[in-house]
Chains A and B, each alone.
Chain A
Amino acid sequence: MEKSLWNIYKTFFKVGTLLLGGGYVILPLLQSELIEKKNWIDNDELCEYYALSQSIPGLIAANVSIFTGYRLRRTSGAIAAISGMITSPFLCIILLAKILEEIIALNFVQGIFWGVGIGVLVLIYLAVKEIWHKSVVDKYSFSIFLIVFLLSVCLKVSPAILIVLSIISGIILQIFKNKRENSVKEDKE
């Protein structure tokens, strides 16, 4: 499918419509729509955008959509993507605003809400499985994964701090690599 602005808008309109139960579902939705169906980006890029989105201000789903839109058609693609993403949520709230309390009181709405929560959980689990193969590739990346996971679950450390720590770790890793290369060169000389 051609990456025209209209197609980007339409794709993100669909993603925005299915974005139920919190912004994290953006990942499985983009995997299905943009990676598997359209082949516009790959899991590697999506994982990078998700990590970057956590380290900057703003809503995760919005940040990931803008990164992806920019990757497809630069600034205009970013605007097309985010506009598409928020169209359905916007219309939905405007229509529901007046009857909010009545809806919340309905028993079956609570039931649907509970069920969708479990569905979202399964989707996130499947998304982790997909990006796992692209991000955890050796001992170093596995230890980053494990440390971030444990700090986040056990100590509730903020995601932004964890991403900043892994950025620092990446810089230190490169400094070590540079030193090693230099010493190998010196040995040869």
Chain B
Amino acid sequence: MIYLQLFLEFFHIGLFSFGGGYATLPFLYHIAETQMWYTTKQLSDMIAISSITPGPVGVNVATFAGYTASGVLGALTATASVILPSLIIVIIISKLLEQFKHNKYVKSVIYSIKPAGCGLLAAVAVNMFLSDMSVKGIVLFVVLFCLSLHKKHDPLFYLGVSALAGLGCSFINS
């Protein structure tokens, strides 16, 4: 039963991948090796593609695997399965927080995890910056940064300008 298999594999990913970002990748490679839904080569393409398609990598790969395994219905099954554990866990935590929001310990914990969340996001930015930085990358970064100082823009503005810049660079190179 292909739908049950898709459900089990992707529910498993949703339940056990901690920390987001690329935490799902080891699981996805494991599926490529054990199931016939996609090959490792297809997965690498898929990961590259998911940076230019909307949505988190995990959702993109789930949709893709489900689709290649069993069409649109398979895609729907896999996508829903990877989200379902989050939905259950987050709703439970939200309910608990609502109930205990005036508790001193809960307040103190929230006060402590906020700077930690900020630190983690700053670390993401630094790691991204260090992982692939070229001269043209730094130039584009500085240009966008200066635009942000001048006036507050919509995120779409930055994505649009940077996509156009990338498009321009690829034509100059070729």
Contact = CB atoms under 8 A, between A and B. Distances in A.
Given A57-B18, A88-B55, A107-B170, A47 B117 contact: yes
Interface in B1-41: 14-21, 24
B167 A56 contact: no
A123 B158 contact: yes
A25 interface: yes
A170 B129 CA distance: 31
B25 to A, nearest CB: 12
How many chain B residues sit at the interface, stated as a range, is 35 or more
Contacts of B166: 111-116, 118
Contact of A78 (B87, B159, B165, B171): B87
Interface in B37-84: 42, 45-46, 48-49, 51-60, 63-64, 67-68, 72, 75-76, 79, 82-83
| Residue among B58, B108, B152 facing the most chain A CB atoms (10 A cut-off) | B108
Given A86-B79, A90-B79, A124 B121 contact: yes
A31 B98 CA distance: 22
A29 B155 contact: yes
| Residue among A51, A92, A111, A119 facing the most chain B CB atoms (10 A cut-off) | A119
Given A57-B16, A92-B54, A171-B105, A121 B128 contact: yes
A51 B91 contact: no
B126 interface: yes
Given A51-B114, A92-B53, A100-B42, A121 B129 contact: yes
Interface string A74-114: 01001100100110111011101100110110011111111
Contacts of B24: 59
Contact of A100 (B45, B112, B162): B45
Interface in B126-174: 126-129, 132, 137, 140-141, 144-145, 148, 152, 154-156, 158-159, 161-171, 173-174
| Residue among B42, B79, B163 facing the most chain A CB atoms (10 A cut-off) | B163
Contacts of A148: 115-116, 119-120, 123
Contact of B21 (A24, A32, A100, A107): A24
A144 B115 CA distance: 6
Interface of A is mostly: helix
B26 to A, nearest CB: 13
B102 interface: no
Contact of A115 (B21, B123, B165): B165
A70 B86 CA distance: 12
Contacts of A90: 55, 59, 63, 75-76, 79
Interface of B: 14-21, 24, 42, 45-46, 48-49, 51-60, 63-64, 67-68, 72, 75-76, 79, 82-83, 85-87, 89-91, 93-94, 104-105, 107-129, 132, 137, 140-141, 144-145, 148, 152, 154-156, 158-159, 161-171, 173-174
Interface of A: 16-25, 27-29, 32, 36, 44, 47-48, 50-63, 66-67, 70-71, 75, 78-79, 82, 85-86, 88-90, 92-94, 96-97, 100-101, 103-104, 107-128, 131-132, 134-136, 140-142, 144-149, 152-153, 158-160, 162-163, 165-167, 169-171, 173-174, 177-178
Given A32-B154, A58-B89, A78-B87, 17 more contacts: A20-B54, A23-B57, A24-B20, A25-B155, A59-B82, A59-B86, A63-B90, A93-B67, A100-B46, A109-B52, A112-B163, A125-B125, A128-B122, A135-B118, A167-B109, A170-B109, A174-B109
